[in-house]
Chains A and B, each alone.
Chain A
Amino acid sequence: MAENLLEVVNVGKRFGGFVALDGIELAVAKGERVGLIGPNGSGKSTLVNCLCGTLANETGTVKFDGRDMNRLNAHQRTRLGMARSFQLPRPFTSMTLMDNVRIPLLYTVQARSGILHSSGDLDTRCIELLRLVGLEQKARQWPRDLTQVEMRKLELARAVAAEPKLLIADEAMAGLSHSEIEDILALLGRLNEQGITVILIEHIMRAVMSFSQRLVVLVSGKKIADGRPDEVIRDPEVERAYLGQ
């Protein structure tokens, strides 16, 4: 059995009286493709925020690559290899696309390795990253010039630029057309083949089902199912809570 990259043990989070996460347990193996689904307000994004350090979990622990992450800031977690894309794209609007992907190279890859790359090397790497998502032609343009799908691709390119061990893609396909979804899925598949573990949070069932090796379902801050996608979607509790049948 593959070694676990991520271990989430009894993670809980409240917002005032509202329980957003209630004793979440999750283990993700190295190289695995995990789909995380749940209706709106089920706690998916809160869980991502707790994993990435944007929010502090009140109970439980998050272990990544054998390290306890509870006391680490978001940027420290990114440097250790946990990268995310945001549900709503959050580009650096004052920077060109090149510079958007340059930031993780400067602040994560260089900080991790301690090696300072020349400006030319960084430019080459930025172009490579943008080529990976098909945006190399727009390298010197600004995020305001991008379409919605391009913006999501930029989000992924920036997350990948951090050279992560784990990539958490938070609704990277929302609002996209069929062919655009296929593009993103192909990209995530390629990244996974390169050894990056992927957690895909998504509402588009077709995409999650085709991509994931394992499916985890959250409802009202609780994990109600965790297993093979074909088994999970037949789970009566999942059908009732998520698929509305």
Chain B
Amino acid sequence: MHSSVFLVIATAVGAVIYALAHWLANDYLFFAGYTVLQFIVLATAWNILGGYTGYVNFGSAAFFALGAYTSVFFHKAYPLPIPVLILIGGTIAGLVGLGTGYLTLRLRGAFFAIATLALAVVLQTLIVNWDFVGGSRGAYIIRPREIAVIGNYIQYLFLIMLALCVIAITVARAIERSRLGYGFATIRDDELAAEASGVPTLKLKLIATALSGAFMGMAGAPFPYYIGYLEPSSAFGLQYAVNSIAMPMIGGTTSWIGPLIGAILLGTLQQVATVTVSSAVNLLIVGVLLVAFVIIAPKGIVGLVEDSWRRKK
């Protein structure tokens, strides 16, 4: 299926989801749905680097927070519409991704992962000491109650994140089926053999870090408007780093559908746990599921299904 056809179908599915949520007319559904959608974008973004090229990024929260704090900065300095903030946040996070990639991509395995973790610590320290965006106290973002045409502001945020989801998934799928996707897969399989086959591995890894960082930044840009009060510990929260890794790992990292399945499953489970038990149990659920999948199904749900199909054949 051509990417443009896929985009049309994904947009149609998005429209049905929005219409359904609208029909149910429950604000909490939009509020919880936004979080699940945000995790779909984060997981898809993580997978572009971690899944397609095999470079595990522990610094997802840093890119997410970059997007969020870009919005805080502009909210105070020069207020802009959220779609514009998403573009700016995505560009800044993408550029930081590119720079980080340039400095760290000669590292492999655990060393690369530690370097990305260090990036999150460095950025959090900078934000904590930057008063203009609230520093360690945090920053309040008073969002309007309503917006023209759509009405309720949370519905507007939900719609924006839904659109971002459609774009992120379509881009991830297009990459997977392109020359770029083949190049990414060779890096994951064997970098030495990739270079010997003419694949410019460093260039491709930089593209992956930039794209992955950009989508994470985009996912973070509307966040201050969603949460209303942004502080470093929430923007750089462990849940973003852990969920970004766990969702693709549980869903399956070799295709676009894995992070989607993982994010829907884990995101929904966490929302249900938040309402029925406590939000504190969220990371416990992720941890237990991640350990279980790593042991039982290291290729995730998609890998499990593919293996069972292969056995039937």
Report which A residues bind B (CB closer than 8 A): 52-54, 73-75, 78-79, 83-84, 86, 90-95, 99, 102-104, 106-108, 111, 158-159, 161-162
The chain A residue with its CB closest to the CB of B198 is A108
**Contact of B160 with A by CB under 8 A:** no
Q: How far is the CA of A99 from the CA of B185 in the complex (A)?
A: 11
Q: How far is the CA of A111 from the CA of B182 in the complex (A)?
A: 14
Q: How far is the CA of A102 from the CA of B177 in the complex (A)?
A: 13
Given contacts A54-B192, A90-B192, A106-B179, are A162 and B197 in contact (CB under 8 A)?
yes
Q: How far is the CA of A94 from the CA of B185 in the complex (A)?
A: 8
In the bound complex, do residue A78 and residue B192 qualify as a contact, i.e. CB atoms below 8 Å apart?
no
In the bound complex, do residue B254 and residue A108 qualify as a contact, i.e. CB atoms below 8 Å apart?
no
In the bound complex, do residue B196 and residue A52 qualify as a contact, i.e. CB atoms below 8 Å apart?
yes
Q: How far is the CA of A108 from the CA of B186 in the complex (A)?
A: 14
Q: How far is the CA of A91 from the CA of B196 in the complex (A)?
A: 11
Given contacts A94-B254, A99-B182, A106-B179, are A75 and B198 in contact (CB under 8 A)?
yes
Return 13 A-B CB contacts under 8 Å, by A number: A73-B200, A73-B202, A78-B196, A78-B198, A84-B196, A90-B192, A92-B186, A95-B182, A95-B185, A102-B182, A108-B198, A158-B193, A162-B198
Of the listed residues B193, B198, B199, B202, the one surrounded by the most CB atoms of chain A closer than 10 A to its CB is B198
Given contacts A90-B190, A94-B188, A94-B189, are A74 and B196 in contact (CB under 8 A)?
yes
In the bound complex, do residue A111 and residue B193 qualify as a contact, i.e. CB atoms below 8 Å apart?
no
In the bound complex, do residue A104 and residue B254 qualify as a contact, i.e. CB atoms below 8 Å apart?
no
Of the listed residues A52, A79, A92, the one surrounded by the most CB atoms of chain B closer than 10 A to its CB is A92
CB distance from B57 to the nearest CB of A (A): 20
Mostly, the A contact residues are helix
Of the listed residues A90, A103, A159, the one surrounded by the most CB atoms of chain B closer than 10 A to its CB is A103
CB distance from A61 to the nearest CB of B (A): 20
In the bound complex, do residue A104 and residue B182 qualify as a contact, i.e. CB atoms below 8 Å apart?
no
In the bound complex, do residue A83 and residue B196 qualify as a contact, i.e. CB atoms below 8 Å apart?
yes
Choose one: B179, B185, B200, B254; the contact of A75 (CB below 8 Å): B200
Report which B residues bind A (CB closer than 8 A): 179, 182-183, 185-186, 188-190, 192-202, 254
Residues of B within 8 A of A84 (CB): 196
Q: How far is the CA of A220 from the CA of B182 in the complex (A)?
A: 40
Residues of A within 8 A of B182 (CB): 95, 99, 102-103, 106
CB distance from B162 to the nearest CB of A (A): 31
CB distance from A106 to the nearest CB of B (A): 5
Given contacts A75-B198, A104-B198, A111-B198, are A90 and B193 in contact (CB under 8 A)?
yes
Q: How far is the CA of A218 from the CA of B198 in the complex (A)?
A: 28
Choose one: B189, B195, B198, B202; the contact of A95 (CB below 8 Å): B189
Residues of A within 8 A of B199 (CB): 75, 103, 107
Residues of B within 8 A of A54 (CB): 192, 195-196
CB distance from B90 to the nearest CB of A (A): 28
The chain B residue with its CB closest to the CB of A161 is B197
Residues of A within 8 A of B198 (CB): 75, 78-79, 103-104, 107-108, 111, 162
The chain A residue with its CB closest to the CB of B180 is A106
The chain B residue with its CB closest to the CB of A54 is B192
In the bound complex, do residue A92 and residue B196 qualify as a contact, i.e. CB atoms below 8 Å apart?
no
Residues of B within 8 A of A161 (CB): 197
Q: How far is the CA of A107 from the CA of B202 in the complex (A)?
A: 14
List of 8 A-B pairs having minimum Cβ-Cβ separation, nearest first: A108-B198, A74-B195, A107-B198, A90-B193, A92-B189, A78-B198, A104-B197, A103-B197
